Amino acid sequence: MKNKLFCQVVVRHFPVAIVSFLAIAVMSSGAAHAGEAGPPASFYSGKTVTLLVGFRLGAAYDLYARLTARHLVRHIPGSPAIMIENSPEVATKTAERINRAAPDGATLAALIPALYLTQLTRRSEAAFDLAKFTWIGTPTKSHYLLYMRMDAPYKTMRDIKESSVAPVCGAGEETTTGYYLPKLFEETLGTTFKIVAGFKEGPDVDSAVERGELQCRALTIDGFFSHEPYPTWLKTGFVRILLQTGSKRDPRLPGVPTLNGLMDEYKTSDANRRLAKLVLASSEFGRPVVAPPGIPQDRATILRDAYNKAMKDPALVAEAKKENLELNPAAGQELEALAKEIVTQPHEVVERMQKLLGK
């Protein structure tokens, strides 16, 4: 590659992945390999950092990853380039890839927040340990909502609870909100849903909803307000929001009841409330960025500091506002502590989660 200052995204298509280069500095054709040793402040000079994103271009996770990437590298000493690799895949595959990556601080990954469900319920199958990842930070901690087609005969969660016909919701794998949240609502509120799983990504579920094949989906509140088709759906009255999971109502959903409020109304048991607290811990992880286990501590510190500075950067904040991407960041140290707490659950709690997920 010739020496060049890149100021736009260059997309190259590969059989499996889509790779984008976002460069903030001049890349030298004679740059050292990423694994070479050097002073922590100079390690990233002339390097390329790879950010793995297991979602297609334009999905909410991709939008947040790119927002982060554009500003993160400006705060890393040495101003490296950053390469975003989009490879739509099962979430555990992205976790396994970052787990296997060289522990040099040159590879990062944007993960979904609920991977701990896999680790807790299928310990022998999880080829990673979330407690051992190097947690860099998250741009937002988002709660969840349940939307329903307006022409479906369910205006409230009580309508679902009292109906003899279950609404049909779409989902991906078991670690996606579209799958485990309706399961949680069944356990805590006594509702019943028919879940059609196996969709590749959220936009595929939304397309099925538009075609009338599905009636509902659970997803993050931030994701719902970040991109189409949701603003248009709200404006045209195509969907209504039945529930949100935060302890307080989101300002964007002032009239939508909370799960906590409904659990009070339905007198949900303490055991089910504890289960809800564990399942909804995913909202505290948000849309996290991690590095492999065991990277040098000085490089972990560099990445975490750069991430924290990027989240406070006026340019990032302005861009997020323009793109309707809500910011509610958390530092890597906070996520690391949460991961260690979450994956050390008592056996009885894990059993309840296995039952919830049909394991």
Note the pLDDT of residue 223: 87
Note the pLDDT of residue 6: 34
Give the integer Cα–Cα distance in Å for 216 and 210. Answer: 10
- SS3 label, residue 253: coil
Does 1 reside within a domain? Answer: no
CATH number at residue 255: 3.40.190.10
Q: 47 with 32: CB under 8 angstroms?
A: yes
Q: Distance between terminal CA atoms of the chain?
A: 50
Note the pLDDT of residue 357: 77
Alpha carbon distances (Å) from 289 to 104, 200, 207 = 15, 21, 28
Phi, psi of 172 (to 5 degrees): -95, -125
Instruction: Tell me, rounded to whole angstroms, the distance of Cα 280 from its chain centroid.
Output: 13
Does 272 reside within a domain? Answer: yes
Assess whether 152 and 131 both reside in one domain: no
Q: Structure pTM?
A: 0.76
Assess whether 271 and 339 both reside in one domain: no
Does 31 reside within a domain? Answer: yes
Give the integer Cα–Cα distance in Å for 320 and 90. Answer: 27
Residue that is last in its domain, among 279, 311, 329 = 279
Residue that is last in its domain, among 221, 252, 279 = 279
- Rg of the chain over CA atoms, in angstroms? 21
Assess whether 201 and 130 both reside in one domain: no
Assess whether 303 and 214 both reside in one domain: no
pLDDT in tens, 114-136: 888 888 887 656 789 999 999 99
Q: What is the mean pLDDT of residues 249-271?
A: 95
Note the pLDDT of residue 359: 60
Binned at pLDDT 50, 70 and 90, residue 233 comes out as: very high
Domain count along the chain:
2
Assess whether 150 and 121 both reside in one domain: no
pLDDT in tens, 272-284: 998 898 889 888 8
Q: What is the mean pLDDT of residues 332-340?
A: 95
328: number of Cβ within 10 Å: 13
DSSP 18: E
Assess whether 71 and 183 both reside in one domain: no
Q: Helices (DSSP H) in the chain: which residue ranges? A: 60-72, 91-100, 115-121, 157-162, 177-189, 202-210, 221-224, 230-236, 259-265, 270-279, 282-285, 297-312, 314-322, 332-342, 347-356
Assess whether 153 and 273 both reside in one domain: yes
Residue that is last in its domain, among 279, 299, 329 = 279
Assess whether 243 and 290 both reside in one domain: no
Domain that holds residue 341: 10-141+286-356
Nearest Cα neighbor of 288 from 136, 145, 82, 130 is 136
pLDDT in tens, 26-43: 333 333 333 444 555 679
Q: 92 with 120: CB under 8 angstroms?
A: no
Average pLDDT, the chain: 87
Task: Using the predicted structure, report yes or no on whether residue 312 has a pLDDT greater than 90.
Answer: yes
Assess whether 228 and 302 both reside in one domain: no
CATH number at residue 30: 3.40.190.150
At what angle are helices 60-72 and 314-322 packed, to 10 degrees? Answer: 160
Q: 105 with 95: CB under 8 angstroms?
A: no
pLDDT in tens, 49-87: 999 999 989 888 899 999 999 999 999 999 899 999 999
213: number of Cβ within 10 Å: 12
